[in-house]
Amino acid sequence: MRQSPANRILILLKTDGPQLAAAVGDALGISSEAARQQLTKMAEEGLVEPVTETATGRGRPRRLWHLTAGGNRQFPDGHADLTATLLATMVSQLGQSAVDTVISARETETLRRYRSEIDLTADLASRVASLAAIRTQEGYMADHWQDDDGSLMLVENHCPICAAACACAGFCRSELETFRMVLGAQVEREEHILLGARRCAYRIRPAA
């Protein structure tokens, strides 16, 4: 994606969530008014929309800018329509077991590849960092950090196989199991795009 002001805003809202115009301006190094003008233009194009949220306490309501469905479609979708159609056809013609076989084969190959690219002798934080880098290369716009309680977070701001996952939740279950096996750790999904969240987020702790 080219780094025009509009694309930088799309990436900011995708990775950091809804933003005030002032925050968008700070991120782009422009004034709040210039950011608001750019956001208004993008709203006219159907890419973003403002949502007024009531502030806590006595503060004034905040106007946060969100990505629309059209804005989310600016990111790679892994040939969504074709994927969904192929999966639906596979289920109708060959049965759910055929899809399960495909998911299992994909899981085996993904696990093999991840294990070859990640230093399995490194500490857990390093393994998570390596996994985040691999997932980013695959289009998941991944990030990672360590929380105050010592647990690790892996966050994926985009899902390039969302259409496949929507058509068959087995892909999501398989990816979660793959993370557990390649990291050798406890991994729990705390946010899920398919359940309406903005991103998928995983909390990771050492294996019991």
Residue listed under structure tokens 């076989």? 101
Same domain, 163 and 146: yes
Same domain, 84 and 175: yes
Q: What is the CATH number of the domain that holds 124?
A: 3.30.1380
pLDDT tens track for 79-119? 566 566 777 777 788 777 888 888 899 899 999 999 999 99
Same domain, 118 and 178: yes
The Cα angle at residue 163 between residues 166 and 173, in degrees rounded to 5:
50
Same domain, 90 and 191: yes
Same domain, 64 and 113: no
Ramachandran quadrant class, 196 (left: phi over 0; alpha: psi -120 to 50; beta: rest):
left
Beta strand residue intervals within 54-191, DSSP E: 62-67, 142-146, 152-156, 185-191
Same domain, 102 and 160: yes
Q: What is the CATH number of the domain that holds 55?
A: 1.10.10.10
Total number of domains in the chain: 2
**122 CB contacts (<8 Å, ≥6 apart)?**
130
Expressed as residue numbers, the domain containing 178 is 79-206
Domain C-terminal end among 44, 73, 102 = 73
Same domain, 48 and 116: no
pLDDT tens track for 118-172? 999 999 999 999 999 999 999 899 999 999 999 999 999 988 878 667 767 788 9
